[in-house]
Structure 1
Amino acid sequence: MNLRDKFFQKKPSAYRIHHEDDLAIETLSERISLLLPTRRTDSIVIVCIGTDRSTGDALGPLVGSKLQQLQPKATVYGTLESPVHAVNLNEVMASIEQTHTRPFIIGIDACLGRLHSVGIITAGEGPVKPGAGVKKELPEVGDIHLTGIVNVSGFMEYFVLQNTRLNLVMKMADVMAISLHQSIEAYGTDMSLEKNNALNWGDDLLQLP
């Protein structure tokens, strides 16, 4: 499907899939592709929120580091080396606003949920709301979001995040990073094809008698 077809297609609602699903990467990548802008944006910016000081909250920085290794056609903020968290989030968002012209922002974060939802990755329109699970007031981030439910909510959230299994967080980060990379790569290819088709269409017009 090219971008012209997607322009007339209704945007999908929030999509949920378990990270251990056999088709998790393939279908999540497709869903992210549908959420990307149909008109050319100057830059795609991915903001991975969290800290490596808490196992559960390290999902964002892990996704950021794994994405950087894949060298996506996007700018990544928030890695294990340089995390984006509650202390510096406002500063980072201000820097993005100054550095990028009309960026399309993808917000990445860990979250807590019901027991049966642990391990599920969600992709949808609208921003992530960092800090909501631990009762913090932080700016919302993203035109679209990608979140991973890493543990159970409802009681001693800080303790729960700190005692989340690293194995789960690593596996979820792998799925999220690869899915993002594949969708952004496909998006760049679609944009190139759209540009070439537009140029060819213009050439045809010039050749009309």
Structure 2
Amino acid sequence: MRAALSTTCDFRIHYKEVGAVWKLSSLFLEHIPFHEENIVFFCIGTDRSTGDALGPLTGSFLTESPLFPFPVVGTLEDPLHALNLQQRLDETIQSYPSAFIVAIDACLGKGGSIGQLLIQSGPLHPGKAVGKELPSVGDVAIKGIVNIAGFMEHAVLQSTRLLLPYEMSRILGRSMQLAYGRSKS
């Protein structure tokens, strides 16, 4: 059963906060049923825009871990983006009809929120910041605020320093792996 639609953020944590990996792993344990086999991670974004690389970077970190057993859609090598999102979503639903989807994507926000990771129950709406109409995806949404919203969003995403999405994706990957490890004990 799909989670109810939610437009509010359930939790916010800055990626540099002390203990962020542990705190995020605890949140993931509350929101992601790691005991189920049909979990799929949708890491949305493209490597052609530094600000939009959070998803593919996170997907690559997760797939590089031999201890992380879940399917990951969207990596630096094979990004999940606006042009293939619907197709990959359809393929996933066909292969895993009862899949619990964890959707990860970059987003824009207020200046004081840059670096925050947002976790919410319900789907995320990719492409919204740049005015794209894309399918909503996920039972749980994880968003990382990588830059300021409000003006020339495409240019803002293109000019975002890669270090921020890279560091945020490392924290997400480590937190997700820790949450899975903790779920087994």
Q: Which residue of 1 aligns with 2:13?
A: 17
Is residue 80 from structure 1 mapped to residue 76 from structure 2 by the alignment? Answer: yes
Q: Which residue of 1 aligns with 2:134?
A: 138
Q: Which residue of 2 aligns with 1:8?
A: none
- One-letter code aligned to 2:169: A
Larger radius of gyration: 1
Q: Which residue of 1 aligns with 2:26?
A: 30
* Structure 2 CA distance for aligned equivalents of residues 32 and 140 of structure 1: 20
Work out whether residues 73 and 184 of structure 1, in 8 Å CA contact, stay in contact via their aligned partners in 2. no
* Structure 1 CA distance for aligned equivalents of residues 53 and 86 of structure 2: 19
Identity %: 44
Is residue 150 from structure 1 mapped to residue 143 from structure 2 by the alignment? Answer: no
Q: Which residue of 2 aligns with 1:168?
A: 164
* Structure 2 CA distance for aligned equivalents of residues 37 and 175 of structure 1: 20
C-alpha displacement at 1:28, in angstroms? 0.6
Q: Which residue of 2 aligns with 1:177?
A: 173
Secondary structure of 1:25 counterpart: helix
C-alpha displacement at 1:43, in angstroms? 1.2
* Structure 2 CA distance for aligned equivalents of residues 95 and 34 of structure 1: 27
* Structure 2 CA distance for aligned equivalents of residues 57 and 181 of structure 1: 22
C-alpha displacement at 1:186, in angstroms? 2.5
Identify unmatched segments of 5+ residues in structure 2.
1-8
Q: Which residue of 2 aligns with 1:206?
A: none
- Show CA shifts across 1:124-158 (max 9, x none): 21111100111111011110011100000000000
Q: Which residue of 2 aligns with 1:47?
A: 42
RMSD: 1.3
108-117 or 40-49, which moves further after superposition? 40-49
**TM-score normalised per structure 2:** 0.91
* Aligned residue runs from structure 1 range 116-135, under 5 A: 116-135=112-131
Higher relative contact order (CA 8 A, sep 6+): 2
C-alpha displacement at 1:75, in angstroms? 0.6
* Aligned residue runs from structure 1 range 190-201, under 5 A: none
Identify unmatched segments of 5+ residues in structure 1.
1-12, 191-209
C-alpha displacement at 1:185, in angstroms? 2.7
- One-letter code aligned to 1:163: S
**4+ residue segments displaced more than 2 Å:** 184-187
- One-letter code aligned to 2:42: V
* Structure 1 CA distance for aligned equivalents of residues 25 and 169 of structure 2: 14
* Structure 1 CA distance for aligned equivalents of residues 36 and 22 of structure 2: 24
C-alpha displacement at 1:70, in angstroms? 1.4
106-115 or 65-74, which moves further after superposition? 65-74
- One-letter code aligned to 2:152: M
Work out whether residues 42 and 102 of structure 1, in 8 Å CA contact, stay in contact via their aligned partners in 2. no
C-alpha displacement at 1:30, in angstroms? 0.2
* Structure 1 CA distance for aligned equivalents of residues 70 and 180 of structure 2: 8
Secondary structure of 1:149 counterpart: strand
Count how many residue pairs are aligned between Structure 1 and Structure 2. Answer: 176
